[in-house]
Amino acid sequence: MGQVLPGANVVNASVVIGDRFQGIRGSLVSVFAIMILPILVLIVLASLYSRFYEIPAVSIALNGAGAAAAGMVIATGLKMALKLKPGLAGWLIIGIAIGAILILRWPLVYVVLALVPTALVLTVMLRKK
Amino acid sequence: MMDTSILSQLARTFSMISLIAIGGMNAVLPALRHEVVDVLHWMDNEKFMQLFAVTQITPGPNVVIVSLVGWEVAGLSGLLVATFSMLLPACLLAFMVGRIASLVAGTSGFRLAQNALVPVAVGLILAGGLDLAHAAYRGWLTPILIAANVAFILFTKYNPVWALMASALIALGAHYSGVFPLI
């Protein structure tokens, strides 16, 4: 479920799990608990970044790390695709999403608004009997 | 006082992105990059990718890229506004769906929605990764590094942070040896 709800997957999951145990208070506490440490680490790293990014070597190293980060997002998508083993409908939906965003350059809001109903229709139409 | 127009812009942009993030943060990275770089002109592609690299080193949920963008444009208040705007709408939705999920889980409608929406998430994430690959381009070393990292994640089980650090070192080595200068 966390995969298909909009928003940060891990945070959404912690909202639902917190609610199961302690209601709304459980949700609030678990979101706070999951965010506070990363935010504090982030502030430290961000301060280091603003102090040193103008040094050419730091900038070049981060450009390398940025390329790595882009590769990791692609790999995440490929991993999900391998796990999903999409049928014809699945491949069509994936292809339409990539085409609409990268080739047609549609804004993501419109892509999502158009793609969700399209995906439901394709999935029903091409469902294996 | 902090410029409130920047803060309200952060709130508007990120709460909108929050609700269309099917597939998580990775799926909305092209939209986030487009808004921050092309529309609002808060930074260029190089800076955005450097910030993204910093958040990949940060432990925890990858939603912190939004927090870091907020920090860069408006300091601590920017970080807080950006993070809340990104989390609140989607968390409210998850809360409501979570409450009704136990009623509908396992029904054919729920399975249908799942079968249809997971490919949407996969497509959006792949498009997001390719968009970032384009934004990260700094000469021929970039596609080589990207391909190597895709292979690293797919075929090994090591912590991705090692690949990030190795890529940073390779970029330094390639640049200063003059083999692949990064522009």
Distance from CA of B87 to the nearest CA of A (A): 7
Q: In terms of C-beta density within 10 A (0-12 exposed, 13-18 middle, 19 or more buried), how is residue B114 classed?
A: middle
Interface check A29 vs B, CB under 8 A: no
Contact B68, A46 (CB under 8 A): yes
Residue with tokens 């792949």: B126
Angle at A11 between CA B110 and CA A112, to 5 degrees: 55
Tell me what the pLDDT averaged over chain A comes to.
91
Contact between B168 and A102 using a beta-carbon 8 Å cutoff:
no
- Count of A–B CB contacts within 8 Å? 345
| Nearest CB partner across the interface for A41, out of B34, B58, B116 | B58
pLDDT digits (tens, 9 = 90+) for A23-75: 999 999 999 999 999 999 999 999 999 999 999 999 999 999 999 999 999 99
- Residues of chain B in contact with residue A108, where contact means CB-CB under 8 angstroms, are 17, 20, 28, 30-31, 34, 124
Calculate the alpha carbon distances from B26 to B22, B56, B121, B123, B141 in Å.
Answer: 9, 12, 9, 11, 23
Torsion sign across C-alpha atoms B58, B61, B65, B69: negative
Neighbours of A57 (CB within 10 A): 13
CA distance A43 to B96: 31
Q: Please, which residues have CB within 8 angstroms of residue B37's CB and are 6 or more apart in sequence? A: B43, B44, B45, B48, B135
- Residues of chain A in contact with residue B135, where contact means CB-CB under 8 angstroms, are 70
Calculate the alpha carbon distances from B34 to A55, A70, B41, B137, B161 in Å.
Answer: 26, 15, 9, 16, 26
* Best CA proximity match to A7, nearest among B4, B164, B61, B39: B61
Contact B25, B62 (CB under 8 A): yes
* A118 has a pLDDT exceeding 90: yes
Distance from CA of A62 to the nearest CA of B (A): 5
Q: Which pair of tokens denotes residue B9? A: 């812009």
Q: Which of B55, B120, B158 to mutate to test the interface with A (most CBs of A within 10 A)?
A: B120
Whole-prediction pTM: 0.91
Give the CA radius of gyration of chain A. 20
| pLDDT tens, chain B, 183 aa long | 457 899 999 999 999 999 888 888 999 999 999 999 999 999 999 999 999 999 998 988 889 999 999 999 999 999 999 999 999 999 998 888 888 877 777 788 888 888 899 999 999 999 999 999 999 999 889 999 999 999 999 999 999 999 999 999 999 999 999 887 765
CA distance B183 to A60: 9
CA distance B14 to B100: 26
| Beta strands in B17-156, from DSSP E residues, in sequence order | none
pLDDT band at A2 (very low <50, low <70, confident <90, very high): low
Q: Which pair of tokens denotes residue B66? A: 């939004």
* Best CA proximity match to B52, nearest among B131, B120, B108: B131
Q: CA nearest A118 in B: which residue?
A: B116
Q: In terms of C-beta density within 10 A (0-12 exposed, 13-18 middle, 19 or more buried), how is residue A24 classed?
A: exposed
Interface check A36 vs B, CB under 8 A: no
Q: CA nearest B56 in A: which residue?
A: A69
Contact between B118 and A78 using a beta-carbon 8 Å cutoff:
no
Three-class secondary structure of residue A104 per DSSP: coil
Torsion sign across C-alpha atoms A32, B74, B44, B16: positive
Three-class secondary structure of residue A6 per DSSP: strand
| Nearest CB partner across the interface for A7, out of B50, B68, B94 | B94
Contact B61, A14 (CB under 8 A): no
Q: Which pair of tokens denotes residue A106? A: 């549609």
Interface check A49 vs B, CB under 8 A: yes
Q: Which of B22, B25, B165 to mutate to test the interface with A (most CBs of A within 10 A)?
A: B22
